[in-house]
A and B are shown apart, each in its own frame.
Chain A
Amino acid sequence: QKEVEQNSGPLSVPEGAIASLNCTYSDRGSQSFFWYRQYSGKSPELIMSIYSNGDKEDGRFTAQLNKASQYVSLLIRDSQPSDSATYLCAVSGRAGNMLTFGGGTRLMVKP
């Protein structure tokens, strides 16, 4: 069983809609959670980090963390075609302080 699970997608949403991306993790002791965005053929870049239960908002992005249920999600409001990318969930895992990445969810925003 992978430590960090994501639906590979593609998740297709119309422009202007809310895109909801989900991630579950297996290590109950995980403390840090990140969302990275990766455009096709490019390198990942950090868009959100969250460390405590609840919601964290940054512009059109909201990260949600529920440690009891072991999931973290990313909401993208007013989705734009430029949001089309693969979104990687990363969680601090058992291997010391290193991050474990999920396989990523491919998001497609259609005009």
Chain B
Amino acid sequence: DAGITQSPRHKVTETGTPVTLRCHQTENHRYMYWYRQDPGHGLRLIHYSYGVKDTDKGEVSDGYSVSRSKTEDFLLTLESATSSQTSVYFCAISEQVSNTGELFFGEGSRLTVL
């Protein structure tokens, strides 16, 4: 199994509070991604990173920010959580850009915003 760890795995929070999800990899892969998965929508890309301090937006980036200060860590922050951000969040990594190589996914972080 690819060495990807997400934390926390489960979190319940209230509307308006900040939330940070962490993704840690031990594979030294260049690319890291944050997806959210909701019923009927499949996996949607929030943000991705192609190197330390190099990040870009995905299709559903509003309300989210990311940071990557080290190769192995990619943080996803919800500055002020809303109920619409209740979802399962998956971190993924790839050695090559995602349209040419395999994505390896973490176990997911289930976030509930009350």
From B98, which residue of chain A is reached at the shortest CB distance?
A99
Given contacts A43-B105, A43-B106, contact A99 B99 (CB under 8 A): yes
**Interface check B41, CB cutoff 8 A:** yes
Question: Which of A4, A8, A92, A98 has most B Cβ within 10 Å?
Answer: A98
Chain B residues with Cβ below 8 Å from A92 are: 98-99
Give the complex CA separation of A86 and B58 in angstroms. 23
Q: Are A32 and B99 in contact (CB under 8 A)?
A: yes
**Interface check B114, CB cutoff 8 A:** no
Q: Are B43 and A101 in contact (CB under 8 A)?
A: yes
- List residues 64-107 of chain A with CB under 8 A from any CB of chain B: 88, 90, 92, 95-104
B92 to chain A, nearest CB (A): 8
Q: Are B103 and A88 in contact (CB under 8 A)?
A: no
Q: Are A101 and B100 in contact (CB under 8 A)?
A: no
Which of A32, A49, A98, A104 touches B58 (beta carbons < 8 Å)?
A98
A47 to chain B, nearest CB (A): 10
Per the CB 8 Å criterion, the residue count for chain A at the interface is 25
**Interface check B74, CB cutoff 8 A:** no
Chain B residues with Cβ below 8 Å from A97 are: 97-100
Give the complex CA separation of A100 and B60 in angstroms. 12
Chain A residues with Cβ below 8 Å from B45 are: 95, 98-100
Q: Are B40 and A8 in contact (CB under 8 A)?
A: yes
Question: Which of A8, A92, A103 has most B Cβ within 10 Å?
Answer: A103
Which of B41, B99, B102, B106 touches A98 (beta carbons < 8 Å)?
B99
Give the complex CA separation of A30 and B100 in angstroms. 12
From B40, which residue of chain A is reached at the shortest CB distance?
A103
B91 to chain A, nearest CB (A): 9
Q: Are A101 and B108 in contact (CB under 8 A)?
A: no
**Residue contacts A-B, CB under 8 angstroms, 23 given:** A4-B42, A6-B42, A31-B99, A32-B100, A36-B103, A43-B106, A44-B90, A44-B103, A46-B103, A49-B102, A88-B42, A88-B43, A98-B45, A98-B97, A98-B98, A99-B45, A99-B103, A101-B35, A101-B44, A102-B42, A103-B41, A103-B42, A104-B42
